[in-house]
């Protein structure tokens, strides 16, 4: 009887070990923005593995390009800006939801900067926002959340989207295009801003929060298949995310990685970001990521209205159809509210 009990214990022990050794494999779309350090650090520190998740990052040049694979279930999770394409997918009944905050712009915590070629500034071709008229203007993708910022900037200069010559390209390509004088202006996010500034051929003339001070610029999406078929992993992902995003908040001081955990996150960025130079990240601006993952819903509502006013929404869709906060609320019940780290 004693030997049988020992044998049974060994079987249970190995069964538990085998279960722990086979985490759920998930695919997550990212754009490689500076604030994606939250996910890179969380993975390196084992936060996802602790939740039984083996997370694979799939890089895209913009958020809108993630929507098709999210709709088909090829991606389980995406971290990017919402877009007109996302709302159109929801209107067509293609299942995916915004589940948590990714990045917000607050005064001093910007993610995007209006860049204008230096020769335009020095010659007087550009003096005010009204001078963007007729300029060849780059942004990552049509109908993205960045477009709502641009719409507000143009309106401040008495212009509309019809007054510029839009072109769409990835962040590294913008820096090259500026150097070749193939672009007049752009609205990149970090690290695109810092990459372009390093060329020495652009001027930083305006920040996103100057025209849109509380903007939910990026979010976390879940595919419907992931929410339906793997709820425990869906909760677990956000528990791990909260640990990562709180490390990020402990690293930030006035939009720079100068806090308690700043150096540690800079090390993560040098391994995963576009530059291996720590000084590059010390001088870069970083957006605000809510330490409790909470969304700024009025901003999302305003963006949906802008997309609609621009004629980009096909069919009828309400914000309530596109958002599900139940997962982050459940994760918060377990994690509790954020408490800043102390030295």
89 and 228, same domain (yes or no): yes
Q: Which of 165, 185, 211 is the last residue of a domain?
A: 211
204 and 273, same domain (yes or no): no
The answer to the question of residue 343 being in a domain is no
pTM reported for the whole predicted model: 0.88
139 and 98, same domain (yes or no): no
329 and 309, same domain (yes or no): yes
The answer to the question of residue 5 being in a domain is no
The answer to the question of residue 10 being in a domain is no
80 and 125, same domain (yes or no): no
Q: Which of 161, 191, 211 is the last residue of a domain?
A: 211
The answer to the question of residue 301 being in a domain is yes
Q: 168 and 136 in contact (C-beta within 8 Å)?
A: no
The answer to the question of residue 323 being in a domain is yes
pLDDT per residue as tens, the chain (343 positions): 444 444 444 444 434 443 455 899 999 999 988 889 999 999 999 999 999 999 999 999 888 889 999 999 999 999 999 999 999 999 999 889 999 999 999 888 878 899 999 999 999 999 999 999 999 999 877 888 889 999 999 999 999 999 999 998 877 788 889 999 999 999 988 888 888 898 899 999 999 999 999 999 999 999 999 999 999 999 999 999 999 999 999 999 988 999 999 999 999 999 998 889 999 899 888 889 999 999 999 999 999 999 999 999 998 999 999 999 999 999 999 999 999 987 6
Could you give the 3-state DSSP secondary structure of residue 211?
Answer: helix
Closest by Cα among 231, 221, 230 to 89: 221
Count of structural domains, the chain = 2
207 and 265, same domain (yes or no): no
Which residue reads 């590294």 in tokens? Answer: 172
Closest by Cα among 167, 189, 198 to 114: 189
Contact residues for 219 (Cβ-Cβ < 8 A; gap 6+): 79, 80, 81, 82, 98, 99, 100, 101, 102, 295, 300
184 and 204, same domain (yes or no): yes
142 and 176, same domain (yes or no): yes
207 and 58, same domain (yes or no): no
Two structure tokens written together for 315: 């069919």
Q: How far apart are alpha carbons 5 and 12 in whole angstroms?
A: 11
The answer to the question of residue 17 being in a domain is no
Q: Which of 176, 211, 246 is the last residue of a domain?
A: 211
49 and 186, same domain (yes or no): no
Q: How far apart are alpha carbons 244 and 238 in whole angstroms?
A: 10
Domain containing 192: what range? 113-211
136 and 198, same domain (yes or no): yes
The answer to the question of residue 13 being in a domain is no
The answer to the question of residue 1 being in a domain is no
Torsion, Cα of 241, 243, 303, 196 (10° steps): -90
205 and 236, same domain (yes or no): no
| First and final C-alpha spacing in the chain | 55
Q: How far apart are alpha carbons 162 and 35 in whole angstroms?
A: 31
Q: 152 and 73 in contact (C-beta within 8 Å)?
A: no
The CATH number of whichever domain residue 157 belongs to comes to 3.40.190.10
The most distant pair of C-alpha atoms in the chain lies apart, rounded to whole Å, by 92
């Amino acid at each position: 009887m004693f030997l049988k009990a020992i044998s049974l214990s060994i079987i249970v022990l190995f069964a538990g070990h085998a279960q722990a050794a086979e985490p759920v494999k998930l695919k997550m779309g990212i754009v490689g923005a500076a604030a994606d350090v939250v996910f890179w650090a969380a993975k390196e520190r084992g936060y996802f593995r602790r939740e039984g998740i083996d997370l694979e990052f799939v890089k895209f040049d913009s958020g809108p390009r993630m929507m098709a694979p999210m709709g088909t279930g090829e991606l389980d999770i995406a971290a990017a800006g919402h877009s007109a394409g996302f709302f159109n997918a929801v209107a067509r009944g293609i299942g995916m939801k915004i589940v948590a905050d990714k990045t917000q712009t607050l005064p001093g915590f910007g993610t995007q900067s209006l860049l204008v070629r230096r020769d335009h500034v020095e010659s007087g071709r550009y003096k005010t926002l009204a001078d963007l008229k007729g300029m060849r203007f780059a942004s990552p993708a049509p109908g993205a959340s960045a477009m709502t910022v641009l719409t507000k900037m143009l309106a401040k200069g008495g212009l509309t989207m019809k007054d510029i010559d839009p072109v769409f390209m990835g962040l590294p390509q913008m820096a090259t295009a500026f150097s070749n004088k193939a672009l007049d202006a752009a609205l990149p996010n970090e690290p695109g801003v810092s990459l372009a500034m390093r060329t020495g051929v652009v001027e930083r003339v305006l920040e996103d929060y100057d025209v849109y001070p509380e903007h939910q610029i990026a979010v976390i999406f879940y595919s419907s298949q992931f929410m339906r078929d793997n709820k425990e992993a869906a909760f677990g992902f956000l528990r791990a995310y909260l640990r990562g995003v709180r490390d990020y908040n402990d690293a930030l001081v006035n939009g720079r990685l100068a806090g308690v955990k700043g150096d540690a996150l800079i090390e993560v960025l040098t391994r995963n970001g576009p530059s291996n130079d720590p000084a590059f990240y010390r001088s870069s601006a970083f957006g605000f990521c809510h330490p409790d993952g909470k969304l700024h819903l009025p901003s999302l509502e305003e963006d949906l209205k802008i997309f609609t006013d621009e004629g980009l929404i096909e069919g009828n869709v309400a914000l309530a159809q596109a958002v599900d906060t139940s997962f982050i609320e459940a994760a918060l019940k377990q994690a509790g509210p954020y408490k800043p780290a102390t030295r």
